[in-house]
Structure 1
């Protein structure tokens, strides 16, 4: 099994001791990250990236 516990040092609630990645932002499919502050507040990451 690959993965480990290194993501814990970023204060992430990982589901097990064998977690190998974390999606912290997404512009893929229906899992779109929304910008919470600044000039692009309320827009999705995908919208801003494509603009």
Structure 2
């Protein structure tokens, strides 16, 4: 669901959210240890939990 909302924002409004607080780049949802987190693409680290 998180990816669908993120993709919709990008395609319709040209808004990339959420951003990695460390790198200021777009993130993608990813499952890590049974938790959903936003993963930073360039560094491949979990930036924050998906709420």
Answer 1 or 2: which has greater strand percent.
2
User: If you compute each CA radius of gyration, which structure gives the higher value, 1 or 2?
Assistant: 1
TM-score by length of 1: 0.22
TM-score by length of 2: 0.22
